[in-house]
């Protein structure tokens, strides 16, 4: 399920931690090591640094068990975190105890993690564990997956946990996705009635589910300004698709008003281009299909200095270090958060534009998805 809630760009520190996750992935960490090297750093990045923000090894009343972590905001326990060893999978069954403890303590949110996968459960939700799970993200994917992980995890920062609106959007997305996938759901029945009232036709519930699935899986771009105060260019109209013409997913830039005195350079907007199956086009897709060759030189300019990186099979090499994605490498070059898709250029062209080349090849059937 794609997360549509968009927060800020991940910090360079988060990208650095993600790089360490990749390095630690093959280690046989115990649960204690997993906490120290993989979980504690994330909690610190989420703002749990003071004594009053975080409690460890919290006893559960009426039992001899202990909570691994209890997260506080505004002087109140807001969530609990259960740690698993790095080698253990994160499943609904593994989360059962965590969710049960949360319900007993009256805490709404339960996070269970092995340091790589993070699953979030709403202990107040009704139904089985699978219905209580609202999101699951990983820190070992491509740059789009890393952004999605940050979008979800940042909702559980010390500052965000006391705000209802961002969390409500996450819950709404989960319910809407579930309801529109069930032929017997009230939402699908309402759509059937709307079609009947408007056109006088009776449509089977599964046919509506299929239409919804088709609509949400079309290639599209989600664009969210990082700073709403910046003037932006109005997106050009989408041209009607003609037979035999590849579908294009336009990438809209952000423009900075040059007349604003002392204005800082414009920050690129977060863009995401999706494949027909609804998953994001990744750097790995470009490499596997040859759209972006291995060992290709990428250039990015920050503060008048041109930086050069190299495409590798497992990411982007910059400054003698291989980063898991474009944005991590761009952030390292800039010394701050940066959008790798728009920052890095290949042969004078933003790498982000090459996603459209990949989509065109994919639609024409010429894309070779073999292992790079």
- Res. 171 pLDDT band, cuts 50 70 90: low
Rounded CA gap, 132 and 99, in Å?
9
Mean residue pLDDT of the chain comes to: 78
- Res. 47 pLDDT band, cuts 50 70 90: very high
Give the 3-state DSSP-derived string for the chain, with helices as H, strands as E and coil as C: CCCCCCCCCCCHHHHHHHHHHHHHCCCCCCHHHHHHHHHHHHHHHCCCCCHHHEEEEEECCCCCCEEEEEEEECCEEEEEEEECCCCCCCCHHHHHHHHHHHHHHCCCEEEEECCCEEEEEECCCCCCHHHHEEEEEECCCCHHHHHHHHHHHHHHCCCHHHCHHHHHHHHHHHHHHHHCCCCCCHHHHHHHHHHHHHHCCCCCHHHHHHHHHHHHCCCCEEEECCCCCCCCCCCCCCCCCCCCCCCCCCCCCCCCCCCCCCCCCCCCCEEEEECCCCCECCHHHHHHCCCCCCCCEEEEEECCEEEEEEEECCEEEECCEEECCHHHHHHHHHCCCCCHHHHCEECCEEHHHHHHHHHHHHHHCCCCCCCC
- Res. 208 pLDDT band, cuts 50 70 90: confident
- Res. 181 pLDDT band, cuts 50 70 90: confident
Residue 199, pLDDT above cutoff 70: yes
* Residue range 296-308, pLDDT digits in tens: 999 999 877 888 9
Calculate what percentage of the chain has a pLDDT beyond 90. Answer: 26
Which residues on adjacent β-strands are paired with residue 221? 273
How many other CB atoms are found less than 10 A from the CB of residue 107? Answer: 19
- Res. 94 pLDDT band, cuts 50 70 90: confident
Rounded CA gap, 148 and 127, in Å?
26
* Residue range 107-152, pLDDT digits in tens: 889 999 999 999 999 888 888 888 888 888 999 888 888 888 998 8
Query: How much is the average pLDDT of 156-182?
Result: 72
Rounded CA gap, 156 and 77, in Å?
12
Lowest mean pLDDT among 91-95, 164-168, 218-222: 218-222
pLDDT of residue 292: 93
* Residue range 212-245, pLDDT digits in tens: 777 665 433 333 333 333 333 333 444 444 444 4
- Res. 263 pLDDT band, cuts 50 70 90: very low
Q: Which residues contact 297 (CB under 8 A, 6 or more apart)?
A: 308, 309, 310, 346
CATH 3.40.50.720 assigned to domain 12-175? The reply is no
Q: How far is CA 253 from CA 86, 228, 230, in A?
A: 40, 14, 12
Q: Which tokens in the block code for residue 284?
A: 């790995």
Where are the domains positioned within the chain? 12-175, 182-216, 221-234+245-364
* Residue range 267-284, pLDDT digits in tens: 444 456 777 777 888 898
pLDDT of residue 141: 84
Residue 345, pLDDT above cutoff 70: yes
pLDDT of residue 32: 94
Q: Which residues contact 177 (CB under 8 A, 6 or more apart)?
A: 1
- Res. 350 pLDDT band, cuts 50 70 90: very high
- Res. 167 pLDDT band, cuts 50 70 90: low
Bigger pLDDT: 348 vs 336: 348
Highest mean pLDDT among 80-89, 121-130, 330-339: 80-89
């Amino acid at each position: 399920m794609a997360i549509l809630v968009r927060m800020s760009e991940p910090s360079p520190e988060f990208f650095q931690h993600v790089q360490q996750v990749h390095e630690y992935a093959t280690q046989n960490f115990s649960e204690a090591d997993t906490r120290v090297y993989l979980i504690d750093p994330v909690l610190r990045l989420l703002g749990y640094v003071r004594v009053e923000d975080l409690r460890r090894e919290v006893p559960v009343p009426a039992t001899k068990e202990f909570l691994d972590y209890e997260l506080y905001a505004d002087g109140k326990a807001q969530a609990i975190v259960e740690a698993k060893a790095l080698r253990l999978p994160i499943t609904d069954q593994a989360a059962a105890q965590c969710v049960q403890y949360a319900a007993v303590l009256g805490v709404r949110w339960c996070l269970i993690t092995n340091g790589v996968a993070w699953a979030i459960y709403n202990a107040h939700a009704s139904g089985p564990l699978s219905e209580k799970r609202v999101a699951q993200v990983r820190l070992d994917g491509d740059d789009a997956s890393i952004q999605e992980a940050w979008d979800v995890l940042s909702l559980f920062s010390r500052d965000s946990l006391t705000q209802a609106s961002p969390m409500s959007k996450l819950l709404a997305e989960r319910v809407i996705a579930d309801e529109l996938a069930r032929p017997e759901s009230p939402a699908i029945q309402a759509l059937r009635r709307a079609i009947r009232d408007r056109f006088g036709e009776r449509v089977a519930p599964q046919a509506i589910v299929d239409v919804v699935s088709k609509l949400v899986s079309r290639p599209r771009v989600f664009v969210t300004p990082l700073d709403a105060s910046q003037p932006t260019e109005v997106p050009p109209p989408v041209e009607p698709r003609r037979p035999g013409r590849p579908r294009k997913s336009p990438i809209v830039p952000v423009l900075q008003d040059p007349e604003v005195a002392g204005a800082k350079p414009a920050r690129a907007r977060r863009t995401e281009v999706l494949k027909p199956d609804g998953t994001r086009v990744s750097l790995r897709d470009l490499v596997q299909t040859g759209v972006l060759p291995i060992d290709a030189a990428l250039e990015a300019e920050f503060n008048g200095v041109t930086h050069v990186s190299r495409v590798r099979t497992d990411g982007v090499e910059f400054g003698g270090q291989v980063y898991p994605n474009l944005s991590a490498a761009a952030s390292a070059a800039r010394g701050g958060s940066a959008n790798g898709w728009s920052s890095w250029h290949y042969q004078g062209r933003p790498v982000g534009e090459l996603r459209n080349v990949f989509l065109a090849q994919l639609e024409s059937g010429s894309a070779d998805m073999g292992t790079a």
